[in-house]
Structure formats: C-alpha cells, structure tokens
Amino acid sequence: MVANVDDHGKDAKLDSIISTIYEILYGGVGTVNFLNLAQLINMFIDPYANIVEKTKVLRKMEPYLRNYGLLPTDFRRNRDGGERVFEALRNVVRNAMSGMGQVKVVRFTDIDKYPTYVVSVREYKIGDNYFDVDLQKTAMNLSRKSMMHKLFTNKDIVVKEYANVKTIDIVLCLDVSGGSMRELSNGMPKIEIAKDAVGQYIQFLSKTNDRLAMVLFNFRADVLWGGLHQVRRYWQQMNYMLKYVYAGGGTNLANALERSREVLTRSRSNSKHVICVTDGRTVNSSMCIKEAVRLRRGGGATISTIAIGENSDDELLMRLSKIGGGLFIKISSIHDLGKALIMDKLHSM
C-alpha cells in the first residue's frame, strides 16, 4: 500500500508541474524559449536513462500533450515499411546518378563506406529479424504451396542476407524549431513529414547492429533518448517517442553539436557519426564551427548535414560536413528527407 501511495504522490507532482509549465507556455509555441519534448521529459528523468524508462514518463505526459494541442489528431501518415525502404534506396541511387532527382549531394567521403546491399537469400532461421524477410519471394512460396495443398514451413520463408555492415554509433539531431518545422508542405506540417522520414530511417537501421541516440533542438538542445541504444532491439520504443515530437521555438545548432559530443563521450565504438537535419539558420554560427572541430578532432566523429528548404544556410552546413568528413545533402522538399537519411547511411555517392 505504501508503494501505491508513493506512486500516486509522484503522479500528482508530475501533474502539477506539467500543468504549471503549460499554463505558462500554452499559446507560445512560436516564442523563442518554447520547450521541446526532450527538454520536457528530462525535467522528470535523467536525460541518459534507458529509453524504456523514458517511455514510461512520456506515457504519463500524453494527456497533457494532447490537451494543449501539441499533437496532431487528424493527419494520416503513411508507414508502408517493408519493401518500400529498399525501393527508396534503389530510387535514390538512380535519381542521384541521373541528376533528375531533387536530392543534391556534395560528397566529402569515400564511396561504399556503408555497403548494405543484399548479397544472397536463404531460408528462415529462428531468431532472424522479420524485417529481413523477402516478402515477394515468401508470398510466391505461400501461393504455390496453397495451390498444391501442401503445408507452409520455415523453408518457404525467404530471408535476405546483406553485405557486411559497418557497425556505428549514430547521433541524429533533428531541428524542431518553429520557423523550420511548423510550416506546411502540401497541407501537412513539416514536423510530421520529418517524423515519418526518421521512422523509415529507424526501420532501416533495425537491420544493422547500429546504435542510435536522438537529439532535439530548438532554442536549446536536449537528448530525447541519450543513451546509444541498439536500434534492432529498441526500435519500437524509438518510434513511440518519435510520435510525440512537436515543433516550436528558436534554433541553436551549436548546442545540438555540443550535446552530440556529450553523447558520444559515452561511446567506445571506433565509428561515430552525427547527422543534423536543419535549415541551418541558427544563432552563433561561429560556435557551430568550433563544435564541429571538437567533434571531429577530439571525439573522432564524422558529421553529415541535411539542408532543408530553399532558404537553408547551405554555406554553413556544407562547411560543417567538410570539417566532419561526412555528406552534405541538399533537399528542396521535406518529402525527400527519408531518402536523404538512408543515402547518408549508405554513403553510396
């Protein structure tokens, strides 16, 4: 009974604090100092707590996020998954090579750094990730067995095998400022399109042994999940937290790079990478350069940037990518973000 009383007390305290925060900030999503989701969650839990514990805090916040209009309720987002990701990869490469796509890439790295192409197929074994199942070939086997009135077995499930993938610790920095992400694109807020794209990226990484941390930044940066979690194991929690991300406030890219460096100090991997999704229009751009140098020289991390929109500060973002030895990817439409994120992972250009 004591435990229950303590839990109720904690819930009441949480209710009171969140209500106070939103009474102050409600209606001010366009103000410079508007709190993003990561900052809000981290008021109640260690920023580097396990993502499972963070999702528990977020579940308690759900009613408040909805009541204060910070979550969309009418938008339908397309999450096809499966073969769509691989088709996106093939289209990205074809479009980029032909020069007819909307993705413009300036390369500062070696090609084929992250080969992840399918090299063979085999029958299913217990423990295989269902994302690796070849849906088309498996469906054909199922159809054939049904026509022959034979039982469907594990041998009929076809699994793709990929070339050796370089395991890497990744920090994804997502701009959630009001100016960059609250605008509409084809009738949908850019932040919602960006969340779909990051969801595709998470699904793609779940085929690897990569670990991922995510940093949200507007006027200040904070970690949504700061521990580097293996995507293959925690992709469901990552997608859950991603669903509740909203946009508002100013932009501080330098703080995002600084926070990324803090995250990567906890990494023992020889391969570390930071990718920033932003329009690059930020305060203290000179500090961005300094933080990029620290990340590259002191932390040993590569840095890529994805520039969103026609008015992005391409000069700054290109310079950060050059310092970081990563990719600079220019996209004119937020709808190309999913392709750009996967392209960065492949480094196929």
DSSP 168-222: -EEEEEEE--HHHHSSEETTEEHHHHHHHHHHHHHHHHTTS--EEEEEEESSSEE
Q: What are phi and psi of 283, to 5 degrees?
A: -75, 165
- What pLDDT was estimated at residue 109? 43
The pLDDT tens digits of the residues spanning 51-106 come to 999 999 999 888 877 777 666 544 444 444 444 444 444 444 444 444 434 566 66
Return d(Cα 252, Cα 287) in angstroms, integer.
Answer: 10
- What pLDDT was estimated at residue 231? 94
- What pLDDT was estimated at residue 86? 44
Q: Where are the domains of the chain?
A: 83-114+165-346, 118-162
Return d(Cα 3, Cα 7) in angstroms, integer.
Answer: 6
Decide: 263 and 215 in contact? Cβ < 8 Å: yes
Taking the model in full, what pTM does it have? 0.72
Task: Give the chain's end-to-end CA distance (angstroms, integer).
Answer: 61
Tokens for 132?
């690796």
- What pLDDT was estimated at residue 36? 87
Return d(Cα 321, Cα 344) in angstroms, integer.
Answer: 11
pLDDT at 139 over 90: no
pLDDT at 119 over 90: no
Q: Which range scores top for mean pLDDT: 124-133, 180-189, 310-319?
A: 310-319
83-114+165-346 topology per CATH: Rossmann fold (3.40.50)
| Helices and strands, number each (H, E), in the chain | 12, 11
